[in-house]
Structure 1
């Protein structure tokens, strides 16, 4: 008598940049892996440091069971927002004032939009243009042209005074002084991790609400759905993925990722160019 092997349902949480996609470009194998895993009864979630306003529709078009954005600050499932955390207004104003005094180029990240000071787009083009130069822009799978710089600047709204803006995270791309030297101005409610664009060095980074990270967002989903921690899978490559890989029952790092991610991972998979998400899904038995 032959028996059919069964695999218990899993919940998989995928980072976008450098994991599921490369600067907005998702390989066909990753799109199909997500769809196949969901057909097989597994749950697949986006879990990204990007705010919702910066998650392209063509990425979500693969079909996901929920979206965690802002590195755990916001959680949405089935059209219901389960979590939406922002900096307290006094803390937000203090951060903005400090960055402005030091002439930093930054973006305030909110689910509704990205916010920047008037003219910051010109400075970002100068700083990021060389970083993105020569990277592919055509997505043959989705038949769309993706400009990584416009991917950032597209959702931007500009103002001369950002002190009253509500936001969950800040991406700083260019500071005349290392960001670590500004942390004492921000206060204990604020954390800092390196930018995923490592070429920008210590004058760039992501400023976030202390205690908020991707594992916090995963826990919201876990509690809502009654998931078992051992059935949670997380795949990521950057510094903001460390907590979620630590928390997951199975943590998978992308080859060449941040050393902290590699240190906590249970296994390693290739990046998007090597269809790493699809390979990891196959190895976990999610596609059969």
Structure 2
């Protein structure tokens, strides 16, 4: 990868920029700020919807966002497009998950709407047994996860006209069954957020993924794909790592992603983002 001129870098959030505890490592913050100071363009490229991106992430400094795993694109203050799930399909999904006791999150740019029993389920996965384990209670008190505060709970509050995509937590229903039963309406990606469980997943509008959004953005910005780089860790990063000129998997990435990546950097806990930027000349030590 020639680094003598400006590059555009697409960065996944969960597991790449952000730890499971909701923290951006100091080294990753430094890498992003130095790369932008050196003239490179940095775009968040995430399965998260805009409402899920904390102020602490934006404050690092980014040139734009590909959100909802490709369903929403903005550059600077300009929205390029926003593709939404139809109200009919949202209602179908809410009814399906409620009938099967699957906890879920409807993601929109205006808010995140959790199913009625989501909060205790999610807190149990993040902190542990809050009813019986004092250590879990202490974790919640001392290190509240920022994701919890972004959610609105209860079906009565759910929107049906501004949904980008849907995430669901692991349940007694296998991922493979959910994927098969919803295949005519949604594309399913397994375990894009590991803390949600191995049989968790996200559901997207068919035909939408991060690479298609990157391609549209590059055309809009008149930047050749040869100047692009992507870094990620999950299965919803497969297309973007394959599409960009250089695709880098984190050391903590899923094995399927490492297999197709051009390179594998260190894990998020071992300064993987910083070391990647250093290796490819986006920053200097």
Q: TM-score range by the shorter chain?
A: 0.7 to 0.9
Q: 1:129 to 1:165 in 2, by over 3 A?
A: farther
Correspondence for 2:261: 265
Which blocks of at least 5 consecutive residues in structure 2 are unaligned? none
User: Residue 165 of structure 1: CA displacement?
Assistant: 4.9
Between 238-247 and 32-41, the greater mean CA deviation after superposition: 32-41
User: Residue 227 of structure 1: CA displacement?
Assistant: 1.0
Question: Helix, strand or coil for the counterpart of 1:219?
Answer: helix
Counterpart selection for 1:10 from 7, 22, 44: 7
Q: 1:199 to 1:110 in 2, by over 3 A?
A: closer
Q: 1:247 to 1:122 in 2, by over 3 A?
A: same
In 1, distance between residues paired with 2:259 and 2:13? Answer: 20
Question: Helix, strand or coil for the counterpart of 2:88?
Answer: helix
In 2, distance between residues paired with 1:6 and 1:224? Answer: 22
1:159 matched to 2:154: yes
Contact map agreement 2:165 2:203 (CA 8 A) in 1: yes
Question: Helix, strand or coil for the counterpart of 2:169?
Answer: strand
Deviations 1:170-228 (A, max 9, x none): 111133211321334434231111113167222x2111111111112212220111111
Q: 1:216 to 1:147 in 2, by over 3 A?
A: farther
TM-score computed with the length of structure 2 as normaliser: 0.88
Q: How does 1:106-145 map to 2 (within 5 A)?
A: 106-130=104-128
Correspondence for 2:189: 193
Calculate the aligned-residue CA RMSD, in Å: 2.5
Deviations 1:88-130 (A, max 9, x none): 2222221111111111111111111101233421232234433
Correspondence for 1:171: 167
Counterpart selection for 2:177 from 174, 177, 181: 181
In 1, distance between residues paired with 2:271 and 2:65? Answer: 21
Q: How does 1:234-245 map to 2 (within 5 A)?
A: 234-245=230-241
Correspondence for 1:79: 77
User: Residue 169 of structure 1: CA displacement?
Assistant: 1.3
In 2, distance between residues paired with 1:243 and 1:131? Answer: 37
Correspondence for 1:147: 144
User: Residue 83 of structure 1: CA displacement?
Assistant: 1.6
1:22 matched to 2:11: no
TM-score computed with the length of structure 1 as normaliser: 0.87
Which blocks of at least 5 consecutive residues in structure 1 are unaligned? 138-144
Give the aligned length. 274
Q: 1:71 to 1:277 in 2, by over 3 A?
A: same
Deviations 1:208-254 (A, max 9, x none): 11111111221222011111111110000011111110000000001
Contact map agreement 2:125 2:196 (CA 8 A) in 1: no
Deviations 1:4-56 (A, max 9, x none): x9712110011111112213211222112111111211111111111111111
User: Residue 163 of structure 1: CA displacement?
Assistant: 7.2
In 2, distance between residues paired with 1:71 and 1:125? Answer: 24
Q: How does 1:48-87 map to 2 (within 5 A)?
A: 48-87=46-85
Contact map agreement 1:7 1:286 (CA 8 A) in 2: no
In 1, distance between residues paired with 2:84 and 2:3? Answer: 42
In 2, distance between residues paired with 1:198 and 1:50? Answer: 14
